[in-house]
Structure 1
Amino acid sequence: MYFRKPQSDDYPAQFETYIKIAPEGDLNELLRAQEEEILALFRSCGEEQSMYRYQEGKWSVKEVLGHIMDTERIMSYRLLCASRGDKTPLPRHQDIFVSLTNFDRRPLADLIEEFQTVRSATRSLVTGLTEDELNRSGVIIQDKTTAAALVYFILGHAAHHLHIFQERYMSYLSKI
């Protein structure tokens, strides 16, 4: 389903960076194409390479994928709430999930499979939404956020991390 990019009054200001970089188009096709890109990129890494960090204190390859998954799960829940018209204020997503888990202990293949499951669930949710449901809004902190804005956030957030991954990880990983 093609759905226009949301306007700035459809989401909190902190979403702007991600929504701005997300392409506009058929939401299901965008999610599917991005899934293929993410899978190809992470499948190109071996288990040893998946432990690479481009700098001390930065995330490993596995942690990047884990962060993308965790954020998508949170935003998909928010998408569900908004599309159903739930106005219960939801708290801000704190970026603590990576630091409070250990994605590095898990095989990369398991994380890749889990990402596929998460993205499949997101795509199924989006596929079932009507235009009216995508226009509905929920509340994050104190800001109105439409369901469509949350789909574009998911796309933009993953695109942001893919860009960083290609810029800061792939130059090293391609040499191995």
Structure 2
Amino acid sequence: MSQRPSKEEYHPNLEQYIGLIGEERIVELIAAQTEETSAILASLTDEQGDYRYAPGKWSLKEAIGHITDAERVMSYRLLRIARGDKTPLPGFDQDIFAEHASFSAWSAAQLLEDYRAVRQATLTLLRGLAAEAWTRIGVCNGCDTSARALAYVIAGHERHHLNIIREKYLNG
């Protein structure tokens, strides 16, 4: 599935992520991101992982854990919508997730293993979707949302955070 979602398929707040994705084929892009993020994690030292670029900001480990947790949530939403479930899905508080995840105690190897497992599950889900499933609409956080839009959110959210990681954590 390579066709971008229309603006009617998602809440305007999600444009910050969807807007980062061009005309790339979404499944291939998500697969390619796996290697890019894995390379960052494979070279991560404990010192880098614990780094915070400002007081009150997540550590690099927490940022990476957040990418993975957000993908879990978005993939779950995508699954429910793609399968035709019309049950409204609530939002989630990313800060509560980060606070209770204890990512600072994880090693880079654990973060990598978790990220790759979640990403593999996402790719398996996306590769198995029927054409009509991509455009099914459900309700997420009170707004109509398509399965396709959620795939773009997954890719755009990761791209957003990788941009921050490169700028603020690895070059800071």
Kindly provide the CA deviation profile for residues 86-126 of structure 1, in whole angstroms up to 9, marking residues without a partner as x. Answer: 11111112222102221011111111111000000000000
Contact 2:41 2:109 in 1 (8 A): no
- Which residue is equivalent to 2:168? 168
Aligned pairs, number = 171
Select between 27-36 and 152-161 the one with higher mean Cα deviation. Answer: 27-36
Write the distance in 2 (CA, Å) between the matches of 1:59 and 1:116: 21
Deviations 1:143-174 (A, max 9, x none): 110000000000000100000111101113xx
Give RMSD over aligned pairs: 1.1
Give the drift of 1:24.
2.8
User: Does structure 2 retain, via aligned residues, the 8 Å contact 1:92–1:140?
Assistant: yes
Give the corresponding residue for 1:129.
129
C-alpha displacement of 1:26: 2.1
Percent identical: 44
Partners of 1:56 and 1:142 in 2: CA distance: 33
Unaligned runs of 5+ in 2: none
CA–CA separation in structure 2 for the residues paired with 1:171 and 1:25: 27
Q: Aligned with 2:101: secondary structure?
A: coil
Q: Of Structure 1 and Structure 2, which has the larger fraction of its residues in helix?
A: 2
Secondary structure (helix, strand or coil) at the match of 2:154 reads helix
User: Counterpart amino acid of 1:22?
Assistant: I
Whole-Å Cα distance in 2 between the matches of residues 101 and 118 of structure 1?
Answer: 15
Deviation at 1:25, TM superposition (A): 2.6
Separation (CA, whole Å) in 2 of partners of 1:161 and 1:45: 16
Q: Quote the residue 1:91 is aligned against.
A: 90
Quote the Cα distance in structure 2 between the aligned partners of 1:23 and 1:102. 34
- Aligned residue number for residue 142 of structure 2: 142
Report if the CA contact (8 A) 1:75-1:150 is conserved.
Answer: yes
- Residue 152 of structure 2: aligned partner: 152
Q: Distance in 2 between matches of 1:142 and 1:9?
A: 14
1:38 corresponds in structure 2 to 37
User: How far has the Cα of 1:81 moved from its partner?
Assistant: 0.6
Q: Distance in 1 between matches of 2:92 and 2:23?
A: 24
Deviation at 1:67, TM superposition (A): 0.1
Counting only pairs closer than 5 Å after superposition, residues 73-84 of structure 1 correspond to structure 2 as 73-84=72-83
